[in-house]
């Protein structure tokens, strides 16, 4: 018969599971709880459940689910249509034509769609802050999670520089902007955006 502490801990865990949407299979037991001897398992059952519940409830991070479908769609559109689209597609379009460009986008889009659906399933099943490095560290190796975390930081850090360079190259094609150094446009864009 469980004590009142265990009952309170179970009720508290059920409340946390509703907020975090953690699977019930993860909430009460871990693999080390299932030992080969039944007598040891019976002796430890209530204490282990209580310890695991308290540990899980103290380490749960509540992640807000305020993002809607339209937000995700606009993030996808903003990520796919950028300055790189105009710069990278021009040479491919002139060298190979529109059909090969469409074929390349279709094949690459299928692979990216499958990968993003898999990542979405993982993020729904186990909502962790810092999803991609956390998943790599949890399911593959801690060193891979560390490396992926630094790669994510690096790509986010150089995004502004890459976008500024690409935007200044596109401005270079405008009428009347020929012959102006790229650094001038980068300075103008940085000054204008910092004053907004």
CA distances from 124 to 6, 71, 105, 120, 131 (A): 28, 17, 27, 6, 10
pLDDT at position 30, please?
A: 43
Q: In this structure, are 76 and 115 located in the same domain?
A: yes
Structurally, the chain folds into a number of domains equal to 3
Domain boundary among 92, 127, 162: 127
Q: In this structure, are 88 and 143 located in the same domain?
A: no
Q: In this structure, are 135 and 187 located in the same domain?
A: yes
What is the Cα 65 distance to its own chain's centre? Answer: 14
Q: In this structure, are 102 and 148 located in the same domain?
A: no
Q: In this structure, are 8 and 40 located in the same domain?
A: yes
Domain boundary among 82, 100, 127: 127
Q: In this structure, are 121 and 173 located in the same domain?
A: no
Per residue of the chain (196 residues), give pLDDT as tens.
445 554 454 455 444 444 444 444 444 444 444 444 444 444 444 444 444 444 444 455 555 667 788 887 887 777 777 666 777 777 788 888 889 888 988 998 899 889 888 888 888 888 878 778 888 898 899 999 999 999 999 988 998 888 888 878 888 788 887 778 878 888 888 888 888 7
To the nearest 10 degrees (0 to 180), the angle between helices 182-194 and 142-171 is 110
pLDDT at position 170, please?
A: 80
Q: How far apart are CA 118 and CA 174, in angstroms?
A: 42
Q: In this structure, are 33 and 20 located in the same domain?
A: yes
For 123, the token pair is: 């993020």
Q: In this structure, are 53 and 86 located in the same domain?
A: no
Q: In this structure, are 115 and 138 located in the same domain?
A: no
Domain of 151?
A: 129-196
Q: In this structure, are 123 and 133 located in the same domain?
A: no
pLDDT at position 6, please?
A: 47
Q: In this structure, are 147 and 196 located in the same domain?
A: yes
Q: In this structure, are 139 and 196 located in the same domain?
A: yes
């Amino acid at each position: 018969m469980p004590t009142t502490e265990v009952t309170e801990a179970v009720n508290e865990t059920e409340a946390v599971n509703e907020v975090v949407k953690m699977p019930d299979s993860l909430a009460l037991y871990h693999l080390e709880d299932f030992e080969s001897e039944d007598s040891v398992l019976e002796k430890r059952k209530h204490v282990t459940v209580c310890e695991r519940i308290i540990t899980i409830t103290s380490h749960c991070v509540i992640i807000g689910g305020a993002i809607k479908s339209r937000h995700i769609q606009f993030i996808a559109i903003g990520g796919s249509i950028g300055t790189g689209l105009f710069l990278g597609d021009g040479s491919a379009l002139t060298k190979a034509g529109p059909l090969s460009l469409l074929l390349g986008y279709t094949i690459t889009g299928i692979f990216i769609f499958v990968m993003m659906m898999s990542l979405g399933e993982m993020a729904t099943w186990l909502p962790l802050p810092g999803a991609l490095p956390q998943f790599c560290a949890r399911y593959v190796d801690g060193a891979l999670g560390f490396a992926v975390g630094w790669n994510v930081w690096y790509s986010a850090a150089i995004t502004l520089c890459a976008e500024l360079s690409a935007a200044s190259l596109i401005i270079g094609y405008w009428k009347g902007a020929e012959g102006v150094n790229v650094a001038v446009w980068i300075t103008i864009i940085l000054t204008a955006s910092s004053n907004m």
